[in-house]
Amino acid sequence: MFLLVNILGFFVFLGIAFLCSNDRSSIKWRSVFIVVCLEVFLAWFFMKFSAGREVVHAAADGFSWLVAVANKGIAFALPDWLAPTTGSPNFVTSALLPILLVVPLFDILTYIGLLPWLVKWIGRGLSFITHQPRFEAFFSVEMMFLGNTEVLAVSKDQLQQMSAKRNFTLAMMSMSCVTSAIIGSYIKMVPGQYVLTAIPLNILGSIAIAAILNPVTVPADEDIVVSINKNKDQKREPFFSFLGDSILNAGKLILIITATVIAYVSLAALINQLFSLTGLSWLTLENIFGIILFPFAWLLGFDVNQAFQIAQYMGTKLVTNEFVVMGEITKNIMAQKGLFANEHARVVLTVFLTSFANFGTLGMIIGAFKGLVSKEKTNYISSRVPQMLLAGVLVSLLSAASAGLFAW
């Protein structure tokens, strides 16, 4: 019975995206069907075979190595920041400061023409399979390893040339990824095989949900990859001047993102404090979202009691972040006790948690766009924040439903 409910949930989540679509008549259902089928296939492959997980793990290890290199620079300037006393990773150190290496590195790859070449051919291949625009297709692969802020940062030139509507598509997709730099932290708190399974599922889910919520038709003459040298007659900027600008832009981006995240998380905490004045201890944003998410948790294949527990964890994750929930459940889920004696619960919750879809991420993404594109484009994205959050939740639910089909 619960398997049938899980399957039903899969279609309900897609149906909600359809009901909330900006342009239902323009949805390319063939493309959505292909992407969703590919997601289910990968869920089956990653849940039943180790080979797929090893590929993702190897790629994540490569980026973790890059972050480890970045940590050498961080250790020289800010050694105390690499040894947090809170018991959880330092957000700025693990997720933001590596931007100071990652952005210049990718800008260098763009400067020498390698990254545009990869975007052109990999994007063309993925676009052929998924029927998505070339850059959006490649963007989905980039963010599987770079994370939302880094992939936006290295795509600055492309974002500036794209329409506001296409920028909004990327903003929605960015709600559903993670930064490879902190995958190692996830694996220490929840089952690593499910974390690595969630990453590619989220990418495909983000393509499908964005294609439904915000369908965009890109003319052939606009489906291009922007390179640094748009005009062959234009003299190329000297390398070290170019590199200096890249580093400065990365630093500005970190400051913008940090300030925006602090503000968003603090506002959520303020709302909880105001709720506490009512004297109702149960009245918190986490519990409110837990009640809202209860039917969706049930549709993931749980009985009523389990569904409410799962929904509360989901609500806490949306209001705070995934680290808070992972820290709360780590002992039981690793020991397979209580709710997590059930493999289905371990898989579903781990996959749902493995993304940056929360209020803080809204601030990160909007902050990133503020530092990368025009005010008009930023305002277009900012005016659609509820839809961004909906996209992140639906992608997490779709990924959890896909993985949950193969774990009982």
d(CA 298, CA 295): 5
Give the per-residue pLDDT at 93. 76
Give the per-residue pLDDT at 59. 67
Give the per-residue pLDDT at 228. 45
Contacts of 240 by beta carbon, 8 Å cutoff, 6+ apart? none
Residue at 401: amino acid letter: A
**Predicted confidence pLDDT, tens digits, the chain (408 residues):** 788 888 898 899 999 999 999 999 989 898 899 999 999 998 998 887 777 767 766 766 776 787 788 888 888 888 777 765 555 556 677 667 877 887 788 788 878 888 767 766 776 777 788 777 878 887 887 776 666 777 787 788 888 888 899 999 999 998 887 766 567 667 767 887 788 888 889 888 999 999 999 998 887 777 766 654 444 555 778 888 988 988 887 888 788 777 767 776 788 788 889 999 988 888 887 788 788 889 999 999 898 888 988 998 898 888 777 877 887 788 888 888 888 888 899 999 999 998 888 887 888 888 889 888 888 999 999 999 999 999 999 999 999 999 998 887
Domain boundaries, the chain: 2-216+240-404
Question: Do residues 204 and 44 lie in contact, with contact meaning Cβ atoms separated by under 8 Å?
Answer: no
Contacts of 75 by beta carbon, 8 Å cutoff, 6+ apart? 82
The model carries a pTM of 0.78
d(CA 155, CA 212): 23
Give the per-residue pLDDT at 21. 94
> Inter-axis angle of helices 192-213 and 164-174, to 10 degrees?
160
What the block records as the tokens of 3 is: 């398997």
Give the per-residue pLDDT at 209. 94
Give the per-residue pLDDT at 284. 83
Give the per-residue pLDDT at 83. 65
Give the per-residue pLDDT at 108. 86
